[in-house]
């Protein structure tokens, strides 16, 4: 009986010591934690909220939000860096680099120098309809050159990889048409393109904003180039004839119904409506061309004046005047 009591006492003491030692070694480790909060969208500006639920056993040396169009955003994507914090509470991030009309995924994060902890994932989308984006009427420089200006307002958190103008002779020109390119745009802006060689008649012009997988266009402006013709050299053939050269360098909105050269020895500014003036009639044309006219019935030692012309049915367009003399 005494031996049994000694054994029981020994076991009890061992158990108490084991429990005591175990209590001394037990330590409750705090774990840092964050929660993604509300996403506030004011037209095109985005503000994200988050909450630090617990600091953990180490100091948090960075915190913020990360977002992307991928389903699991990380700090390798777009992110804010709000720096060190040593207390629980809410924080906010102003977002940037947002693609219009595209679903984005976002979550908060905290970093203690070793590990990242992420909050839950939320989604949001910003509409391009809240942008103010328009193109003004053009400023004509000459028959085939203009300045065109556009303005974009309300960019907010949106980001565009390129912006500029596009134009074509068909409706709804696209980024694949003729373009002027000014690179990324992240702020409200007004930009102007000088567009040259608009020499094929009727044009459609609009501004564009390009982002990943999407292009936004402004309203469309139309422009009509004017017919333009130049007078080239005059080559003497013999005592009574010469060859005059000319070019149509710009078309108009209406088809050229006739073109050629007119010439005279009685006026230094020949025109086709003057009965004293001779002319060639080379017919209609709807493209940019170079052409020649044979000037006949010429007399030697007399100054002649000639110039190229083109007519669209309502107006005659002339090139510069060239003079020549046939020396026998």
User: How confident is the model over 23-37, as pLDDT tens digits?
Assistant: 444 344 456 888 999
- 225, 240 in Cβ contact below 8 A? no
Cα distances from 168 to residues 143, 148, 181, 251, in angstroms, run: 16, 14, 15, 14
Mean pLDDT, all residues of the chain: 90
Please report the sign of the dihedral spanned by the C-alpha atoms of residue 112, residue 115, residue 120, residue 124.
positive
The highest-level CATH class for domain 33-124 is mainly beta
- 307, 232 in Cβ contact below 8 A? no
CB under 8 Å to 93, separation ≥6 — which residues? Answer: 47, 48, 50, 64, 65, 80, 82
pLDDT for 32: 80
As a whole number, mean pLDDT of residues 68-94 equals 96
Flag whether pLDDT at 59 surpasses 90: no
Q: Say how many CA atoms lie within 13 Å of 163 toward its Cβ.
A: 25
Architecture of the domain delimited by 131-224: Sandwich (2.60)
As a whole number, mean pLDDT of residues 108-112 equals 96
Distance CA 45, CA 27 (A): 46
pLDDT for 26: 36
DSSP code of 53? E
Do the two domains 131-224 and 228-325 of this chain adopt the same fold? yes
Backbone angles phi, psi at 220, to 5 degrees: -105, 135
Distance from the Cα of residue 233 to its chain's centroid: 44
- 205, 217 in Cβ contact below 8 A? no
pLDDT digits (tens, 9 = 90+) for 275-325: 999 999 999 999 999 999 999 999 999 999 999 999 998 899 999 999 999
The DSSP line for 172-183 is S--TTSEEEE--
CB under 8 Å to 236, separation ≥6 — which residues? Answer: 242, 324, 326
Please report, for the chain, the start and end positions of each structural domain, with discontinuous segments joined by +: 33-124, 131-224, 228-325
Backbone angles phi, psi at 35, to 5 degrees: -135, 135
Query: 228-325: what fold?
Result: Immunoglobulin-like (2.60.40)
Distance CA 253, CA 200 (A): 8
Flag whether pLDDT at 177 surpasses 90: no
pLDDT for 1: 45
As a whole number, mean pLDDT of residues 186-207 equals 96
pTM: 0.78
pLDDT for 30: 52
Distance CA 167, CA 194 (A): 12
pLDDT for 176: 84
pLDDT digits (tens, 9 = 90+) for 212-236: 878 999 999 999 999 999 999 999 9
Flag whether pLDDT at 155 surpasses 80: yes
- 224, 304 in Cβ contact below 8 A? no
Which residues are bridge partners to 94 per DSSP?
47
């Amino acid at each position: 009986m005494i031996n049994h009591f000694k054994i029981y006492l020994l076991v009890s003491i061992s158990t108490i010591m084991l429990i005591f030692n175990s209590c001394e070694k037990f330590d409750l480790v705090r774990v840092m934690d964050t929660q993604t909060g509300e996403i506030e969208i004011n037209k095109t500006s985005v503000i994200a909220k988050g909450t630090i639920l617990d600091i953990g056993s180490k100091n948090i040396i960075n915190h913020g939000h990360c977002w992307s169009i991928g389903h699991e955003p990380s700090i390798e994507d777009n992110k804010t860096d709000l720096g060190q914090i040593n207390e629980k509470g809410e924080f906010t991030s102003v977002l940037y680099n947002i693609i219009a009309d595209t679903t984005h995924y976002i979550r908060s994060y905290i970093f203690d120098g070793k590990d990242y902890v992420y909050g839950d994932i939320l989604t949001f989308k910003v509409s391009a309809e809240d942008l103010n984006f328009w193109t003004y009427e053009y400023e004509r420089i000459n028959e085939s050159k203009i300045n065109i200006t556009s303005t974009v307002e309300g960019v907010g958190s949106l980001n565009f990889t390129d912006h500029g103008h596009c134009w074509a002779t068909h409706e709804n020109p696209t980024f694949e048409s003729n373009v002027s390119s000014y690179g990324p745009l992240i702020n409200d802006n007004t930009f102007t393109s000088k567009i040259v060689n608009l020499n094929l008649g009727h044009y459609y012009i609009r501004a564009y904003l390009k982002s990943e997988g999407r292009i936004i266009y402004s309203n469309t402006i139309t422009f009509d180039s004017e017919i333009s013709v130049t007078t080239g050299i005059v080559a003497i053939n013999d005592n009574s004839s010469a060859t005059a050269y000319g070019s149509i360098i710009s078309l108009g909105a209406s088809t050229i119904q006739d073109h050629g050269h007119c010439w005279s020895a009685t006026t230094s500014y020949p025109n086709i409506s003057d009965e004293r003036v001779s002319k060639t009639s080379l017919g209609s044309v709807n493209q940019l061309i170079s052409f020649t006219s044979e000037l006949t019935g010429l007399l030697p030692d007399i100054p002649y004046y000639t110039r190229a012309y083109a007519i669209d049915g309502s107006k005659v367009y002339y090139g510069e005047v060239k003079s020549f003399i046939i020396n026998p």
